[in-house]
Each structure stands twice: as structure tokens, then as C-alpha cells.
A and B are shown apart, each in its own frame.
Chain A
Amino acid sequence: MGNASKVTVKLPPALATHAGAREVSVQGANVLAAIRDLDRVQPSLSDGICNELDAQRPHVLIFVDDTEIRFLKGLRTPLKGGETILIMPAVSGG
């Protein structure tokens, strides 16, 4: 993979069940690519975070080193390597 950076993705229990681990090492030049790389571990796992139109699912939060990606460059946020991507279900409903 060209310009790929190694990062760690921390998964919530609902997705970790399928990955077989809470933390997964992936590669990607940006957040979207790193999330799609989860599919190497378990095919279609990344679908739970981003839909097929490459949009972040509306009730999912993604942090890169403690900053939510809406305050960065969204799914196009570049990765230099060594970051931790945290996936969380948003607190939704009432």
C-alpha cells in the first residue's frame, strides 16, 4: 500500500466481536483507508463504520488521538503513523 501508515484502531464490543480483538493494527494514508483496511481482518467489518458511499455512519464517532474527526478533516484526515483511532457509538436517542 503506497503512503500507508500503521495505526491502531480501537473497536467497540459490537465490532470487536467480529474482529476477534478490541485493538486492531491497520494501515492507511487517511482515516477512511485505515477503516477500510479493517476488512483484511474481517471482510465487511468497515461497513459498520462507513457506508458504501464512503460516508461515516451518522451515529458513529471516530476519534484520532482523542480528537473527533469532524474537528479535523473528517474521513480524509491524513495519518502519519502511530496514531490511535477510537471508534465509539454516539450517545443517541432520549
Chain B
Amino acid sequence: MAKRVHLLVGTKRGLFIGTSDTKRKKWSFSAPCLGGLPVNIAVADTRNGTTLYAGVNSWHWGPCIQISKDMGKTWKLAKKQPRFPKDAKKPVESIWQIQPDVKGRKGSLYCGVAPAALFHSDDGGATWTELKGLTKHPTRSKWMPGFGGLCLHSILVDPRNEKHLLIAISAVGVFESFDRGASWELRNVGLHSVFNAKEKNSPSSCVHKIAFAGRRPDRIYQQNHVGFYRRDGAHADWKSVEKGLPSRFGFPLVAHPHDPETAYTIPLQSDGFRAPKDGKLAVYTTNNAGASWKPLRKGLPDDSFVGILRDAFATDGLETPGLYFGTTSGQVYASADAGKSWQKATDLLPQVLSVRAFVK
């Protein structure tokens, strides 16, 4: 069967699944899955068939992970949800991220929640266990939430070394583990501190998203509340690489899946005005690891005052990568040529919270 490209668009009122052939010009979208519930994140695990995982944060019924093995037609609750022990100060408030492990560790996944904690499943998401080394980190008492809460929103698993993990928490920073999450080091040297902290490695940086560079996982890109950064090497400091961007502020970022020099971000005007500068919606790209940036605007509107949230930007990983982002006003834009040109894949969805793409 010919391969198809699928988009998982998590919105404030359900999950929408978009499908196209690999030309990625014509998209059809499903009716909303999950009964109109807010879907903060939805991902596909294609390591053993196709399993969809949705992080649902219902106003009434709380946070939960639901699992579908039939492309969203039916969903089952995880048997043991990511939950804190009974003597915790607070319950799990929301699911923020679900990340399948490396290819060879089928059935292994990670989940990030708010208040910030990392959970692991080794049975395909049926049951989840808290990795307490992060929750009990010695800096924990200094962690401060961002506007979206104290959320663990990014999880990176090194494809070269399954024990090497990075996570990011707003407004705390980046943590790195070399023992599969048992212990963690704060990695904020070089980043701006929201408190202007004097110490170089302060747990007070509002990181918005991190991503491995394509085919070079020792390089990490970061979109921060106040800048775009790059880190080359496990113990290197973060380096500001934002010259040429119209603003330092933005949420999502995507690394080119094959070219480690290329990354994409969607700058917003400012912290106080979270919309494209002058309404000119634009994806910015670098092809020299952040030394310079240029806008990619062909097909994007000049009068768009939408927002783009941190998980609402994705690539499909194809040879000429498709890029996809969703807006807080319910549009999904798609590019089949690595951002050179864009088209609206769909419109009038509820607020888009997350976008993920996969090929199957």
C-alpha cells in the first residue's frame, strides 16, 4: 500500500486526524476524536504497528492518557495513569508530552506532566511510573511555573544512546540524564534567567521548546521565552543564535530531520503581544545553525494575528520534509517543500494545541 502522511492535530475540543498522499497537497480531516475533550498532545508510535497516544486534559474529568490502536476510531484509558503518590502535595494537573523511546525499545514511552514530573511506561503506555530522580532534584524548591503552569513539555531521547535523555520545564530550564532518568543535571549555563539570577546555572530559565538537530543529536536547538539558542556537545554552554530573527519571543521550533544546520521557528512579536509581527505570519529558518535567519512566507497571510503554541509545529521526516503548524485560531498550515511554500491544510478547527506528523 502506498504510504500516507498523517497529521495529529490536538485541539481544545478534540483530536483531528489529517491525511494526505506523500505529495502532501490535498488533505482530508477526520471528524473530531475523543468527544470534544481538550487534547494537549497526541503522538503516533509506529515502532510496532501504529498506536496513537493522546494526552487529554478534561476540565471535568481531569488529565488522562488514552490509547487507540485503530487510528482514532476507538480509545482506551491507560490502566494506570501518570499519577503522584497519595501523600503528594498536589495531584497531576495535566498531561503535556508523550514521547516514544528509541526504536529498539518497543513499548517504552515517556510522559511529561504538570506540576513538572516525568513518567515512564514499559508496557506500551498501559501503566506509568514516576521517575522520582527529577521530582526530587535538589533545585526543586526554586522551580517557578510559567504562564502555562509548571509544565514538563519537552522530552528528547538520544537515538545513539537510550540512556541519554533531556527534558525541559517552564519556567525552570533544561535537565539532562545519562542513566535513563534516574538522576538529572540542570543545563542552563548560557541561558537568560527570568530572575536575572547571579548564578550561571540557575533553575529559572523559561525554555519553550528544545529539539535535537537532525542526524546530529549532540546539537540541540532551543526556543526560549527570550531568545533562540544552540548547544553543541553534552557539556557545552548554550549560545545565543538569534541574529536576524524579528523577535526573540516564540514558542515552537522544528529541526530539519536530515540537515543539522537547519532549524525553523515561528517568532511572535513579543511576550506582551503574542502574534506575528505586523500580522505577517512567517516561519523563519536558518541553514547555518543560527548564524543567520530568513523568513519563509510564500502562501502565508499578511494580516494574521494568531498565536502558535509550543507543540503546534512538526515535521513528517520525509526526504524533502513536510512542515506543519497549527494556530490558536484553528488553521493548520502545511508545506511540502521544507517551508519554501505554504498552503492552508484546514481551517476553522478549535484552538490548536499540538501538531504531530507521521508517515505510514
Contact = CB atoms under 8 A, between A and B. Distances in A.
Say whether A associates with B: yes
Interface of A: 13-15, 17-18, 42-45, 47-49, 51-55, 57, 59-60, 89-90, 92-93
B78 A57 contact: no
Contact of A47 (B35, B59, B76, B83): B83
Contacts of B35: 13-14, 17
A43 B83 CA distance: 13
B80 A55 contact: no
B80 A60 contact: no
Interface stretch (B45-53, B86-94, B176-184, B217-225): B86-94
30 contacts: A14-B37, A14-B60, A14-B61, A15-B61, A17-B35, A18-B76, A18-B77, A44-B64, A44-B77, A45-B77, A47-B62, A47-B81, A47-B83, A48-B60, A49-B61, A52-B83, A52-B85, A53-B90, A53-B91, A54-B86, A57-B62, A59-B59, A59-B60, A60-B60, A60-B61, A89-B60, A89-B61, A90-B60, A92-B59, A92-B60
Given A52-B84, A53-B88, 14 more contacts: A14-B37, A18-B77, A43-B80, A44-B78, A44-B80, A44-B81, A48-B58, A51-B83, A52-B83, A52-B92, A53-B86, A55-B91, A89-B61, A90-B60
Contacts of A57: 60-62
Contacts of A54: 86
B79 interface: yes
A60 to B, nearest CB: 6
Chain A binding site: helix, strand, loop or mixed by DSSP?
A: loop
A44 B79 contact: yes
Pairs of residues from A and B, 5 with the lowest C-beta to C-beta distance, nearest first:
A48-B61, A43-B79, A51-B91, A52-B83, A89-B60
Among B64, B84, B86, B91, chain A packs the most CB atoms within 10 A around the CB of B91
Contact of A48 (B64, B86, B88): B64
A51 B77 contact: no
Contacts of B79: 43-44
Nearest to A88: B60
Contacts of B64: 44, 47-48
Contacts of B80: 43-44
Interface string B27-68: 000000001010000000000000000000011111010000
A42 B86 CA distance: 21
Contacts of B81: 44, 47
Interface in B112-169: none
Given A42-B77, A45-B77, A14 B83 contact: no
A51 B84 CA distance: 10
B350 to A, nearest CB: 15
Nearest to A48: B61
Contacts of B60: 14, 48, 57, 59-60, 89-90, 92
Contacts of A90: 60
A24 B173 CA distance: 45
A48 B35 CA distance: 15
